[in-house]
Amino acid sequence: MRGRMSAAKSYAKPVEVGEPMVGGTVGEIVASRNAKFAVGDIVLGYGGWRDYALSGGVGVRKLDPAAAPVTAALGVLGMPGMTAYAGLLEIGRPKPGETVAVAAASGAVGSVVGQIAKIRGCRAVGIAGGPDKCRYVVEELGFDACVDHRPPDFAHQLEAACPAGIDVYFENVGGAVQRAVWPLLYDFARIPVCGLIAQYSATTPTPGPDMFSMLRKRLTLRGFIVTDFAAKEADFLRDAGDWARSGRLKYREDVVEGLENAPAAFLGLLAGKNFGKLLVKVA
């Protein structure tokens, strides 16, 4: 979404000034001339930031409220969950016993990354903003450790939490967190680059990572977006559904009431003020 608020060339089309902001939505069908959707159906779609949206039915998927809370389709069982699943397993390729570090660890993507790392037999180390989020990541989500990136001794704390170095760093944030992670990367570490939230609004370029480490440690750095792995969606829905039902995959939602509060909530997200998957309840 932040990328769409810029005219810079990207995989996502910019949103024009005056257009509704795009975004994933869970909604209720209130009128239908499409035989596939009946009034009252709950659907996942891409309706954007508004009260009502018209759709021809393409890209809209009916949800079963009996199978899982429908809002999970926007988080752990939807695009953020799939992003975590594909980036970690297809690019990160964690092996049992390895250390997986993830920033924004209490967020919609990061929380799933660490929980899948644990399911795969890894040491999961989260990085999050503030003691409440860190406590949640360890006590509720079951990560082995979580380090608060705000205190001045963050880099030392992170090193202490990763005594065998970092084999997979799932990159969500960039900036100062990336700089602290870099010296801890172990030989042949893999870095799926999913997001750079600390850099999106920067007005001066942030220096990229040290190339000598790339060479000396034979690192693999790879950018991706979730749609690159569309072929893995069925695997994801099966695995994540199983894990969620059996309680191995937990999640938390941060629900803001009222569409009029969406812009402030979005600015808060960019500043790390949300706690869990940020959702806006429209009505």
Q: Could you say whether residue 129 binds its own copies (CB under 8 A)?
A: no
Binding-site member from 9, 13, 33, 61 for its own copies (CB under 8 A): 9
Q: Could you say whether residue 11 binds its own copies (CB under 8 A)?
A: yes
Q: Return the axis-axis angle of helices 233-245 and 110-119, rounded to nearest 10°.
A: 80
Angle at 149 between CA 2 and CA 171, to 5 degrees: 50
Q: Could you say whether residue 159 binds its own copies (CB under 8 A)?
A: no
Q: How many beta carbons lie within 10 A of that of residue 177, not counting itself?
A: 24
Distance from chain centroid for Cα 118: 17
The secondary element (H helix, E strand) that includes residue 84 is: helix 79-86
Angstrom distance (rounded) from CA 90 to CA 231? 11
Q: In the structure encoding, which two tokens stand for residue 11, read together?
A: 């995989």
Span near its own copies by CB under 8 A; candidates 22-30, 104-112, 142-150, 199-207: 199-207
Q: Nearest approach, Cβ of 187 to its own copies (angstroms)?
A: 8
> 144 with 117: CB under 8 angstroms?
no
Site for its own copies in 178-197 (CB under 8 A): 178, 187, 193-196
Which of residues 39 and 215 has its CB atom nearest to its own copies in the complex? 215
Residue 200, classified by CB atoms within 10 Å of its CB into exposed (0-12), middle (13-18) or buried (19+), is middle
**Amino acid symbol at 235:** D
Q: Nearest approach, Cβ of 248 to its own copies (angstroms)?
A: 29
Angstrom distance (rounded) from CA 276 to CA 111? 8
Q: Could you say whether residue 201 binds its own copies (CB under 8 A)?
A: no
Angstrom distance (rounded) from CA 75 to CA 42? 16
Site for its own copies in 214-233 (CB under 8 A): 214-225, 228
Span near its own copies by CB under 8 A; candidates 8-16, 21-29, 103-111, 148-156: 8-16
Q: Nearest approach, Cβ of 68 to its own copies (angstroms)?
A: 30
Which of residues 65 and 207 has its CB atom nearest to its own copies in the complex? 207
Q: Nearest approach, Cβ of 164 to its own copies (angstroms)?
A: 16
Q: Could you say whether residue 93 binds its own copies (CB under 8 A)?
A: no
Residue from 238, 131, 225, 220 nearest 168 by CA: 220
Binding mask 228-267 vs its own copies (x if CB under 8 A, - otherwise)? Answer: x---------------------------------------
**What is the phi/psi pair of residue 13, to 5°?**
-65, 135
**Integer CA distances (angstroms), 120 to 5, 97, 240, 261, in order:** 37, 9, 13, 39
Which of residues 178 and 274 has its CB atom nearest to its own copies in the complex? 178
Q: Could you say whether residue 5 binds its own copies (CB under 8 A)?
A: no
Which of residues 227 and 261 has its CB atom nearest to its own copies in the complex? 227
Q: Could you say whether residue 207 binds its own copies (CB under 8 A)?
A: yes
Interface residues with its own copies (CB under 8 A) are 3, 9-11, 174, 178, 187, 193-196, 199, 205-225, 228
